[in-house]
């Protein structure tokens, strides 16, 4: 099979390579991807999250599990991610099943976050209505007094999710909309590939 996009044994390695090349091309937050989930009524919704790890085990991001996205992920166990890097003219789409990371993994990553971000994880009831920003700032101050030092435990509602891709599509911009598309489909422990028309 001939493909303009490289054929590799592990497409996650190519995803990481493309992300690094996007960063090298000047994209400051190359790890930003759109996360799509479906609510109980079957309506899709999307928002941007940050990829914190991409390995053979899957792609990891962190969030408030009590937020709409967290509830959707827990209810369906499925999601999709889409990365778009304009500077390199590349896109990657991933679909798959989702599981929560272990408490140890979540604790380890939470400890690396800036202090104000850790306090914010306690203070914000993500996506709930508040009267004003003053409410949020007051809650941050409340938790700042409660945890005056660097030892701030991870809130029980804050965790990570790992998407295990069932398929990954690589797209590269081509002249006159003759783009390159290569689809990897999970096949047991390996992958099979399909070249797609633009």
Q: How far apart are CA 183 and CA 38, in angstroms?
A: 23
List 71, 177, 181, 186, catalytic entry: 177
Look up residue 147 and give its DSSP letter.
S
Among 38, 37, 35, 69, smallest CA distance to 52 is for 35
Q: Which residues of 10-41 are buried (b: 16+ CB within 10 A; e: fewer)?
A: ebbebbbebbeebbeeebeebbbbebbbbeee
Q: How far apart are CA 69 and CA 44, in angstroms?
A: 10
Note if 90 is an active site residue. Answer: no
User: Which residue numbers are catalytic?
Assistant: 177
């Amino acid at each position: 099979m001939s493909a303009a996009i490289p054929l590799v044994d592990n497409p996650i390695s190519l995803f990481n390579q493309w992300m690094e090349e996007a960063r090298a091309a000047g994209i400051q937050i190359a790890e930003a991807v759109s996360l799509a989930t479906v609510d109980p009524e079957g309506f899709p919704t999307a928002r941007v999250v940050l990829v914190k790890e991409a390995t053979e085990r899957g792609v990891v991001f962190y969030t408030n599990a009590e937020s709409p996205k967290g509830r959707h992920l827990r209810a369906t166990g499925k999601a999709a991610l889409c990365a778009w890097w304009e500077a390199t003219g590349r896109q990657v789409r991933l679909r798959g099943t989702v599981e929560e990371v272990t408490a140890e993994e979540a604790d380890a990553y939470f400890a690396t976050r800036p202090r104000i971000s850790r306090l914010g994880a306690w203070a914000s009831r993500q996506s709930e209505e508040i009267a004003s920003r003053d409410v949020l700032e007051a809650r941050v101050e409340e938790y700042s007094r409660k945890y005056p030092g660097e030892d701030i435990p991870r809130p029980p509602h804050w965790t990570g999710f790992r998407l295990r891709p069932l398929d990954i599509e690589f797209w590269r911009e081509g002249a006159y909309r003759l783009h390159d598309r290569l689809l990897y489909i999970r096949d047991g422990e390996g992958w099979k590939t399909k070249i797609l028309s633009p």
